[in-house]
């Protein structure tokens, strides 16, 4: 995907100042949601290079019983196992939001927190994929969803090389040929998937 250019990957994700601020705010939100819990089960979807993971793991130290790092690429999983070896709570597995979930691979009681940063726009049908995530969430759990709502936003530009090539949409985006949902459509998709909106 990125060839041999680790520098490009770090510039786009780990060293991107906008993403750094957003990931930091997301991690602080996750800690607030954790409260005094010490048995938190977290699922990160589309974890990729681990840019968000690097913020979340230290912030949730002392709160985790399981942190499931997932992506569609086994390469990212291998890198995560090497990069986060200090975190025994972290496990890695393939998860494709466009495919039905194998619930045998996930905790029967569900996850307390599901994190999806800059990934759900990759879904062929956003609402259908969000419903899959909803079924993985325990009752009373939370979804932390971070997505761009404007074509030229800094968050979207971090993925511009990939978004421009997307054309397999099966939802309303197939009609207007736009990869990004605006804020009202994201809100509609989230609510239609069974989630209650926070902020």
Does position 10 have pLDDT exceeding 80, yes or no?
A: no
pLDDT, average across residues 88-102: 96
**Residues 18-47 pLDDT 10s:** 888 999 999 999 999 999 999 999 999 999
Q: How confident is the model at residue 180 (pLDDT cuts 50, 70, 90)?
A: confident
Does position 161 have pLDDT exceeding 60, yes or no?
A: no
CA distance 164 to 114: 27
- Per-domain residue ranges for the chain? 6-192
What does the H/E/C string look like for 29-92?
A: HHHHHHCCCCCEEEEEECCCCCHHHHHHHHHCCCCEEEEEEEECCHHHHHHHHHHCCCCCCEEE
CATH number of the domain at 6-192, please? Answer: 3.40.50.150
Q: How confident is the model at residue 160 (pLDDT cuts 50, 70, 90)?
A: very low
Q: How confident is the model at residue 13 (pLDDT cuts 50, 70, 90)?
A: low
CA distance 42 to 62: 13
């Amino acid at each position: 995907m990125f060839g041999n250019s680790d520098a490009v990957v770090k510039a786009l994700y780990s060293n991107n100042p906008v993403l750094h601020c957003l990931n930091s705010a997301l991690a602080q939100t996750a800690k607030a949601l954790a409260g005094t819990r010490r048995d938190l089960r977290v699922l990160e979807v589309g974890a990729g290079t681990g840019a968000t993971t690097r913020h979340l793991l230290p912030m949730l130290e002392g709160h985790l019983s399981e942190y499931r790092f997932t992506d569609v690429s086994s390469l990212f999983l291998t890198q995560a196992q090497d990069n986060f070896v200090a975190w025994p709570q972290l496990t890695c597995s393939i998860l494709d939001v466009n495919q039905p979930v194998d619930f045998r691979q996930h905790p029967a009681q569900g996850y307390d927190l599901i994190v999806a940063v800059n990934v759900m726009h990759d879904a062929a049908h956003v609402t259908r994929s969000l419903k899959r995530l909803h079924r993985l969430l325990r009752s009373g759990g939370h979804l932390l969803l971070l997505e761009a709502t404007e074509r030229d936003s800094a968050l979207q530009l971090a993925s511009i090389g990939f978004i421009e090539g997307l054309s397999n949409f099966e939802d309303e985006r197939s009609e207007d040929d736009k990869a990004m949902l605006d804020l009202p459509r994201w809100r509609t998709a989230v609510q239609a998937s069974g989630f209650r909106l926070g902020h």
